[in-house]
Structure 1
Amino acid sequence: MSPRARVLVLNSALGPLDYRVPHGMTVEPGSIVVAPLGPRQLLGVVWEPERMPSDAEVGDNRLRPLLGVADVPPLGDALRRLIEWTADYYLAPPAAVVRMALSSNAALEGARTATEYRATGHVPDRLTPQRAQALERIGDRQGLIRELATIADVSDAVIRGLVKVGAIEGVEVDIDSPFPLPDPLHHVPALSGDQRAAADRLVADVAAQAFAPVLLDGVTGSGKTEVYFEAVAEAVREGRQVLVLLPEIALTEPFLKRFHDRFGCEPVAWHSGLRSTQRRRAWRAIASGQALVTVGARSALFLPYRNLGLIVVDEAHETSFKQEDGVHYHARDVAVMRGKFEPCPVILASATPAIETRQQVAQGRYAEVKLPGRFGAAEMPAIAAIDLIHEPPERGRWISPRLVQAMTETLEKREQSLLFLNRRGYAPLTLCRTCGHRFQCPNCTAWMVEHRLVRRLACHHCGHVMPTPRACPECQGEDTLVACGPGVERIADEVAALFPEAKTAVVTSDTIWSPAKAAEFVGRMEAGDIDIVVGTQLVTKGYHFPNLTLVGVIDADLGLEGGDLRAAERTFQQICQVSGRAGRGEKPGQVFIQTHSPKAGVMQALVTGDAESFYAAETEARRDAGAPPFGRYAAIVVSSEEQAAAQEIASLIGRRAPEVEGMHVYGPAPAPLAMLRGRHRYRLLVHARRALDVQAVIREWLGALEWSPKVRVAVDVDPYSFL
């Protein structure tokens, strides 16, 4: 009898399929194979039949043969168990989770070379200004034509012209060349007593080579990165791989620099900004075990590490670790499960741990290592609230007089300031003062946000953009459009009017969209080329600027809007983090929080620094409400381009909701974002007691229903967004 292989193909609509293994081909669980499906060829992964039951058994004589096996190591047992767990817990098709592990198709091809280009030293006879600029800026760098053109700020044609005249030459390179190996002894830092004690504990966990989840809880500026770097060094000494997860791509570049200073080379980076060849090289090096340290966004969690010895989740409280599209997983929680399957230690580093993480510590499931004070001479900044009712800004302005005075004094001392407002663009709403017309996104239930720097109105949900019109489209009135409310661009305009001599930078995802842009910003800050930063949550974490001594929070109440169960916690975390940017060196820092509710619990906790009382009150409120981590939520979102179809299926799901003790179903109702990307949305919210297997209930409930392919039904277990 011919050997069979059960294959999970990368098609979420299909379950596992059986294939015949041709004579001479060897496969094992985890092998990545090419399988025929009708006239197409699909990638798939061989799975154990007993762990992935098939809907229908097919006789050997009817099986189609596999077409090939990728020349890469099989996906390991621990990764396959993680894929199964993620699919089961988050109610996702296993194929959708496997797709995240096989995130570089190019990596599955054989050995490859590429042509890169470098300067030869020859100066062409015809040296135009653009050619001269290109040769000067390229220097001894090497790269693809597009990369060199970007470095030189010229067109591709200029680089190609230099190739033709011999000033630049092509070089064949192996695109899978090995990455440099970190040196644990390159620059061993001098740690404080608290840091050394914490580092020794984490190093011991790595040496034990066992599952050990640990919360590294340290105030901003306490040196958490230096502490967990000692655990990284121990794993590298043992020849084991390390994964460090960061919540934002913009944080990658500062981290790479700190890592280089400590270990003498950069780690392997993994994020959406990589080219296909870079992703291929990284994936293959990780799969072979050659890449010892990887730093990346949440998607790096599913890469096929060969010998994982440590996982670090930096800024572990960050909500951006929750994936909102596709598979709705939370990288912090999945990281803990990967550590369990490997097994290896998992370090959750945070200055403001999530209540869910604190509860795991309270129950004894996670260990806790604390760093209570800042490193060296640095002290925590002084924090004061500015009551906007009694100390309002001048008419038409958003910065209060006391904060303006503090900024003036900071500039006089040649120190840097940071103004924080978590709202991109110039203004969140544009309307006509004559007829009241409001600019709304045609695809979403959301206002168009004015971005004055690029003269565009943009939707921050679907990305739809349009030029800012001169006249109102409703009444045709000219010069009648008015911006309502502030965004960071508007605050930057106010800063320019107040301090015309100051050098100001706007830092948002619109201006810092790549690690290179982040590196440029860091370089300008360190060189003193920026006096005042106006930024969103992008600047609240990960940056260390010793000369930044003043932080102003423009609208501390903004995050409390919307009725989100985590609103107060998230506001506390965000303002704590941005406050932590002040006074990180020897110079003392100060923070001013502008608020209309200075007596609110979250504001009082921020001013007094009494985090424990705040968290105790929030935790008790969650316990009383049966909210996470003491209860379970799951959202069921029904969407369709046809509103009637979405409403019909949402109503059907609501009518068929099972009656289960300890579980309540609310809805259906139109989602707060009733239309998103052109699709009408209805939402049901499942609230269950903690011990209930809510996934099994939802799986059986929805599995008994049918709906048109035009209707999508998405389940979000442990939702973080309630829009």
Structure 2
Amino acid sequence: MTRVRLLVFNPVLNVLDYRLPDGVAAEAGSVVIAPLGPRQVLGIVWEPERLAGAEVPEARLRPILEVLPVPPFPAALRRLIEWTADYYCAPMNAVARMALGSMAALRGGGTATEYRLTGLEPKRLTPQRAAALDALHGEQASIRELADLASVSEGVLRGMVAAGLLEPVTVDLDRPYARANPLHAAPDLSPDQQAAADRFVAAVADQAFAPFLLDGVTGSGKTECYFEAVAEAIRLGRQVLVLLPEIALTQNFLRRFEARFGVPPVLWHSSLKQSERRRAWRAIVHGDAQVVVGARSALFMPFARLGLIVVDEAHEVSFKQDDGVRYNARDVAVIRAKFERIPVILASATPALESLQLAEAGVYEKVDLPARFGGAELPAIEVVDLRVEAPERGHWLAPRLVAELKDRLARGEQSLLFLNRRGYAPLTLCRHCGYRFQCPNCSAWLVEHRLSRRLACHHCGHEVPVPAECPECHTPDCLVACGPGVERIADEVAEVLPGARIAVVTSDTLNSPDKIGAFVAAAEGKAIDVIVGTQLVTKGYHFPELTLVGVVDADLGLEGGDLRAGERTYQQIAQVAGRAGRGEKPGEVLIQTRHPEAAVIAALAAGDRDAFYEAEAEARREAGAPPFGRWAAIIVSSEDEAEAREAARAIGGARPDLPDVMVLGPAPAPMALLRGRYRYRLLINARRSAQVQDVIRDWLGALTFPPGVRVAIDIDPYSFV
């Protein structure tokens, strides 16, 4: 009899021992199905010496039922799963789950049935079928996915199949991807770019761990440099993973990749339809996917021959996951590269302070691109003091910014206005009684969206139509929008620039690859005069005719309790400023602020990034904040406020008394109610020498909590709400 230890995918159990039936082999990393009571459970065979489990007599061991027909998870991936679970205080099976495809992908390839419109135009249509016909033009997916796209029931679509409006299509789930050609369109690089590319190519050829920080100004051609490393990996038959922070950046990246290598890369993100996820996962695990481009979840894919990892826009906060396994994909990417013994490139125009400190310490090799490609100049940056140059009453754009917008429109050039606030206004209230529209599930105001005529919570998704009267005093026509969002700024632009072609760019308006592609095509085709957008437009886009960037409210990011507010504001504004003057025409940036003396604003105006980072580093050093100290958070939540408060007090009362660990709280979280759960937080500040994870595990492991209480641990937190 052969005993095997399984990491099982069960929310309560983690590790169970089984036996292999006669004639069945299952090496470490094999994915298997095993019995668990009357049910079946998925598991991964693990080295017993690396995974503690309860000792069960051999006579009581049950046999596994099946070894699934996929290659075993490589040892490097198993070590990554162990490290991530240990560092982020997460259940190991929750981390391992991120490496799995669907059960259908694990079972094998084969075919699937999808549906598409036939093109028939019936004489009579129900409203639901008419809506489906409008929404599903050009789409092909399963009935369930099409129903989600069209916002109709599956029954409506099955009726359309019977009526001949939708037809079935058989899809091969293992059809091969087109092969990328590393020689397809070799670029003409500048001397600085060539030196950087040569260093990366050599590291890929060495096939050893080598972490790089690619620090290049906006427009310097960082992508072209690491594309040469990608080409070398392809030549060597190795796989490449490129992580992007936003799905919205994918379309622009795909075009650049296809222009360089002749074919698009393999995609991996949450918006893929199920058949494409199955196809991509199987191509990755069998080594047939040459280059995978995806969001942070792609980091745990079971690559067969990984040879290079690239983290683009590596400073981005969206690489940190704030629920489930709360990991930072930027940092875990470096650890995976270490286990895989391959290079990893962190590319950014505004690197995180932690990355810069590691480069200064010699842990990362820093590669600089100090100038824009092709002789383009960085834009001139000026500050507009709103205390001196105040906008007109009821307006949000200062006279100087309005004048520059008019000038660019007259010259046929493009402008971009940046405000990191979606919707029309962040707060709507009644001018008669003062009633404010608040989310019933969260400690947040409902944001007014006039384009869709709704009030929405951006935290839980709760939506209501804009009422005709106040729900409190029932006075009609009394609602007032307070403060600006991008929709309100767009209305103001339309008022001061009649006839200007305006595009509002947010995650609400660009919520599909097709819409993103249409926006990029319109901007490049000079069909847009003014872009009004959120952080979605701060990175990745290259519009040669865009010569003016206006930051509507530079102080917005400095508000609240974000301990990285200064750094984040600098990165965001520097990135959006980098959209200006990327072609032959010079660019200009106007930053509207009421605090021009703030260190971050002064550094942006002076173009002195180093001075800002030095001041930020000194402030962090004095506060014992990362990268000079450690932070961790404990978040306690429950649907019962008293239960959450008592659990938080119990944790606070049992706090450890250690010289290198300071515990703050418990206190109500700034977002005290989120998605129907009341929240309390404790913040831990520790020296670098402290074993924070061990301290937290020992501390919380001695406590028990009611079933309705959730206790989450956030190591190296980025969100403090």
TM-score bin (small chain)? over 0.9
What residue in structure 1 maps to residue 552 of structure 2? 554
Deviation at residue 516 of structure 1 after TM alignment: 2.3
1:459-470 mapped onto 2 (5 Å cutoff): 459-470=457-468
Contact 1:12 1:94 in 2 (8 A): no
5 Å-filtered alignment, 1:567-716, equals 567-716=565-714
Q: Is the 8 A contact 2:161 2:167 kept in 1?
A: no
Match of 2:12 in 1: 13
The 8 Å contact of residues 138 and 148 in structure 1, kept in 2 or not, is answered as no
Q: CA deviation at 1:171?
A: 5.3
The separation in 2 between residues aligned to 1:663 and 1:353, in whole angstroms, is 28
Deviates more, 1:211-220 or 1:474-483: 474-483
Equivalent-residue separation in structure 2 for 1:20 and 1:243 (angstroms): 36
Q: Distance in 2 between matches of 1:151 and 1:358?
A: 43
Deviation at residue 406 of structure 1 after TM alignment: 0.5
Q: Is the 8 A contact 1:138 1:152 kept in 2?
A: no
Per-residue CA distance 1:71-99 (angstroms, 9 max, x = gap) = 11111100000000000000000011011
Map of 1:458 onto structure 2: 456
Distance 1:708 1:117, change over 3 A: closer
User: 1:514, CA displacement in angstroms?
Assistant: 2.3
What is residue 341 of structure 1 aligned with on the other side?
339
Deviation at 1:601, TM superposition (A): 1.3
The alpha-carbon distance between structure 1 residues 449 and 307, as it changes in their structure 2 partners (threshold 3 A), is same
Using the TM superposition, name which of 606-615 and 516-525 deviates more. 516-525
**How far has the Cα of 1:13 moved from its partner?**
2.1
The CA deviation at 1:110 is: 2.1
- Contact 1:134–1:153 (Cα < 8 Å) also in 2: no
Write out aligned runs for 1:398-409 (5 A). Answer: 398-409=396-407
Provide the C-alpha distance between the structure 2 equivalents of 1:53 and 1:424, rounded to a whole number of angstroms.
Answer: 48
2:412: which partner in 1? 414
Aligned to 1:67: 65
Output the amino acid matched with 1:32.
V
1:654-676 CA deviation, whole Å, 9 max, x = no partner?
A: 11111112111111111111111
Shift in Å at residue 106 of structure 1?
2.4
* Matched AA of 1:525: A
Q: TM-score, normalised by structure 2?
A: 0.95
CA contact (8 A) 1:206 1:235 kept: yes
Q: What aligned pairs does 1:61-210 form with structure 2 within 5 A after superposition?
A: 61-115=59-113, 160=161, 172-210=170-208
1:357-416 CA deviation, whole Å, 9 max, x = no partner? 000011110000000000003111111110100001100000111011101111111111
CA contact (8 A) 1:146 1:156 kept: no
Report the number of matched residues. 713
Aligned partner of residue 664 in structure 1, secondary structure: strand
Q: Equivalences for 1:227-376 in 2 at 5 Å? A: 227-376=225-374
CA distance in 1, matches of 2:151, 2:2: 57
**Per-residue deviation, residues 509-553 of structure 1 (Å, max 9, x unmatched):** 111122222111111111222111110000000111111111100
- 1 CA distance for matches of 2:420 and 2:626? 25
Secondary structure of 2:77's partner?
A: helix
* Alignment of structure 1 residues 492-503 onto 2, 5 Å: 492-503=490-501
Structure 2 residue matching 1:50: 3-state secondary structure = helix
Task: Give SS of 1:634's match.
Answer: strand
Residues in 2 aligned to 1:113 and 1:330: alpha-carbon distance in whole angstroms: 36
- Judge conservation of contact 1:34–1:41 (CA < 8 Å) in 2: yes
- Match of 1:427, as an amino acid? A
Q: 1:29 is aligned with what amino acid?
A: A
After alignment, is 34-43 or 294-303 more displaced?
34-43
Do the aligned partners of residues 439 and 638 (structure 1) sit closer, same or farther apart at CA in structure 2, a change above 3 Å counting?
same
The 3-state SS of whatever aligns with 1:266 is coil
Report SS of the residue matched to 1:311. strand
Is the alpha carbon distance of 1:33 and 1:688 closer, same or farther for their aligned partners in structure 2, counting shifts above 3 Å?
Answer: same
Amino acid in the other structure paired with 1:53 = A
Once the two structures are TM-superposed, the CA of residue 103 in structure 1 deviates from its matched residue by 4.0
My pick for the range that moved more, 450-459 or 348-357, is 450-459
| Rounded Cα–Cα distance in structure 1 between residues aligned with 2:28 and 2:525 | 54
Secondary structure in structure 1 of the residue aligned to 2:366: strand
User: How far did residue 107 of structure 1 move?
Assistant: 1.1
The amino acid across from 1:372 in the alignment is P
Q: Distance in 2 between matches of 1:340 and 1:404?
A: 51
Q: Secondary structure at the match of 1:301?
A: helix
Q: Find out whether 1:24 has 2:23 as its counterpart.
A: yes
Q: Distance in 1 between matches of 2:158 and 2:19?
A: 51
Residues in 2 aligned to 1:547 and 1:150: alpha-carbon distance in whole angstroms: 38
**For the residues of structure 2 that align with 1:489 and 1:432, how far apart are their CA atoms?**
20
Could you tell me how far apart the structure 2 residues matched to 1:37 and 1:146 are?
30
Q: Which runs of 5+ in 1 are unaligned?
A: none
Residue matched to 1:38: 37
Say which SS state the counterpart of residue 374 (structure 2) adopts.
Answer: coil
Which residue pairs with 1:378 in the alignment? 376
Do the aligned residues in 1 keep the contact of 2:286 with 2:304 (CA within 8 Å)?
yes
Deviation at 1:688, TM superposition (A): 0.4
Q: Quick one: structure 1 residues 124 and 408, their matched pair in 2 at CA, closer, same or farther if it must change by over 3 Å?
A: closer
Cα RMSD (Å)? 2.5
- Partner letter of residue 39 of structure 1? P
In structure 1, give the amino acid aligned to 2:506. T
Q: Distance in 1 between matches of 2:700 and 2:140?
A: 55
The 8 Å contact of residues 90 and 327 in structure 1, kept in 2 or not, is answered as: yes
Q: Which residue of structure 2 lines up, in the alignment, with residue 445 of structure 1?
A: 443
Structure 1 residues 145, 59: CA separation in 2 closer, same or farther (over 3 Å shift)? closer
1:500 deviates by 2.2
SS in 2 for 1:101: coil
Identical-pair percentage: 65
Q: What code does the residue aligned with 1:4 have?
A: R
Indicate if the aligned counterparts of 2:145 and 2:273 stay in contact, CA closer than 8 A. no
The superposition leaves residues 593-636 of structure 1 with CA deviations (integer Å, 9 ceiling, x where unpaired) of 00001122111111111000010010011011110000001100
Q: CA deviation at 1:12?
A: 3.3
Relative to structure 1, the CA distance from residue 125 to residue 174 in structure 2 (aligned partners, 3 Å threshold; closer, same or farther) is: closer
The residue that corresponds to 1:482 in the other structure is: 480
TM-score for the superposition, normalised by structure 1? 0.95
Q: Distance in 2 between matches of 1:569 and 1:299?
A: 25
Whole-Å separation in 1 of the counterparts to 2:259 and 2:285: 26
Structure 1 SS opposite 2:522: helix
Unaligned runs of 5+ in 2: none
Taking the aligned partners of 2:146 and 2:645, their CA distance within structure 1 comes to 53
Aligned equivalents of 1:280, 1:19: Cα separation in 2 = 29
CA distance in 1: counterparts of 2:116 and 2:475, whole angstroms: 57
Alignment partner of 1:369: what SS?
strand
Question: Is 1:396 aligned to 2:394, yes or no?
Answer: yes
- How far 1:5 sits from its partner (Å)? 1.1
99-108 vs 571-580, which moves further: 99-108
Contact 1:555 1:594 in 2 (8 A): yes
- Contact 1:249–1:297 (8 Å) recurs in 2: yes
Indicate the SS of the match to 2:5.
strand
